[in-house]
Amino acid sequence: MTRHTELTTRNFAGFAWVVLLISCVSVGFGAVDLLMVTPKGLLHVAAVGQGELIVSGVFAFFVGVVDIFTARLAVAEGENARAHRLPVLVWALLPLLGLCEVLGLLVGAGVEPFLRLTGQQPELVPLVGDYVQVRAWSTAAVLAYIVIGETLKICGMKNASFLILGAGLGVNVLLNWVFLYTSAASLFASPASAVSAATVGAQILMACAGLGYFLRQNRRPDAPADVPAAARPARDEVLAEFRSMLRTAPGVGARHFNDYAGAIVPSLFIGTLGIQAVAAAGVATKIYTLFCRVPQACASGAFAFYGYAVGARDTALPAVARRLLVYTAVPTAVAAGVLLLYSPQTVGVFASAGMDQDLARDLLLAFLLPLPVYVLSAVHGEMLTVHQRGGLLFGASTLTTYLLTIPLAWYAVFVLDSPFLAIACNGVSTAVLAFVFHRALRRDHWAAPREVAHV
């Protein structure tokens, strides 16, 4: 194992810290888009917000491709096989990106008819369509940007990934200004499409910068011997890798989409309880989303280092998993304690005049109650992704989302009239997932030492 793949407290903390910074900066892209389009009017702000909500759901599914690629790269990095495996993975990834592009275009073409069918405001529909269409045409390019950023992190270049993202945020601000407030605005059908194009342009430039940095680092005289080979890999090997990734990626992507649906649908239910409930739930959701950057960053670290351990054929995977759980649980518990201690002040920062702040604090507590099982399910879910268990991730998340999360939230809202229970009951499905994931790991992957196969 190379130095950056060794599981030490310092390595894990450094990785998770950079991921946390990256996730925080990533929030800035959406904030910049909304701030820059605000002078154009409320209608355009609404279009950008609704368009981003749709795009987030679509990309939640597509990210399954990224996860499968990254998991295999982490395993290759752990076994010092990057020189051979990375070219194979890249060539297998390219047709998958093409398929994602086709699906993205189909979604983009269907957005406006769907919005009209669901009774959205007629003047809003074409603007949302403009935003989504631009993002749809750039699906493959944006996924390539995400893949390159993840590759930098997995291959020990995480700081470069963060610096490129920070520079990209500045580029996004500049492109928003150029596309919205100069003569270049005439090139776009609407401000919504201009904002979307600015985001895509920044991401493509970041992808180019990341790829250039990666190639340059691997050409240095002092670069590790295990660097990607220039020769194209064998066709049969690439085809086998492509078929394997094609079978696995949809399951992982569906798991992400189910998580998205499990968060959005209960929020829509709560929206029927009145303005106070909507406002309080919105504030609690915003605070909890920001808080979740901590466990999510740690889970990303667990994903990478568990992949390294699998690649190194570590026979003590259960011990590695327990250590990674501790590394995730401790920062999460500390962050949760601080949040609870200062929850009145935190809610006050986000609350508007006349809002029921006590209700917002109660709903924030409802989000935090299932936190222990959330950590277990998140970390074990990442480990199953490393093991390429797309079918299990899909099946378990689908059943729990649509048979537990959404029905329980419906019952809590429409029968018990309780937004608190609508949020807290998510802990039931999360606990089930944690149990199923842990059982699968113990039974199928930790029972005895085994040879690691690239499947």
| Beta-carbon count within 10 A of 276 CB | 14
Q: Is 259 left (phi over 0), alpha (psi -120 to 50) or beta?
A: alpha
Mean pLDDT of the chain: 89
Looking at residue 449, its pLDDT comes to 52
Q: pLDDT of 189-234, one tens digit each?
A: 889 899 999 999 999 999 999 999 999 987 765 555 555 545 678 8
User: Is the Cα torsion angle 32, 210, 82, 101 positive or negative in sign?
Assistant: positive
* 453, pLDDT greater than 50: no
User: Is the Cα torsion angle 148, 151, 157, 158 positive or negative in sign?
Assistant: positive
pLDDT > 70: what percent of the chain? 95
User: Is the Cα torsion angle 186, 188, 190, 193 positive or negative in sign?
Assistant: negative
> Which residue from 354, 374, 390 is spatially nearest to 427, judged by alpha carbons?
374
Q: pLDDT of 315-357, one tens digit each?
A: 789 999 999 999 999 999 999 999 999 999 988 888 777 778 8
Q: pLDDT of 11-66, one tens digit each?
A: 999 999 999 999 989 888 888 888 888 888 878 888 888 888 888 889 999 999 99
Going by pLDDT thresholds of 50, 70 and 90, the confidence category of residue 154 is very high
Show the tokens assigned to 89: 């993975």
What amino acid is encoded at 9 in this protein?
A: T
> How far is C-alpha 7 from the chain's CA centre?
23
φ, ψ at 27 (rounded to 5°):
-60, -30
Angle 82-117/235-270 helices, nearest 10 degrees? Answer: 40
Between CA 389 and CA 427 the distance in angstroms is 23
Going by pLDDT thresholds of 50, 70 and 90, the confidence category of residue 454 is very low
Q: Please check whether residue 82 is in contact with residue 154, taking contact to mean a CB–CB distance below 8 angstroms.
A: no
Going by pLDDT thresholds of 50, 70 and 90, the confidence category of residue 297 is very high
Looking at residue 225, its pLDDT comes to 52
Q: What is the pTM of this model?
A: 0.89
Q: pLDDT of 82-116, one tens digit each?
A: 888 999 999 999 999 999 999 999 998 998 998 88
| Beta-carbon count within 10 A of 109 CB | 13
Show the tokens assigned to 195: 């904002």
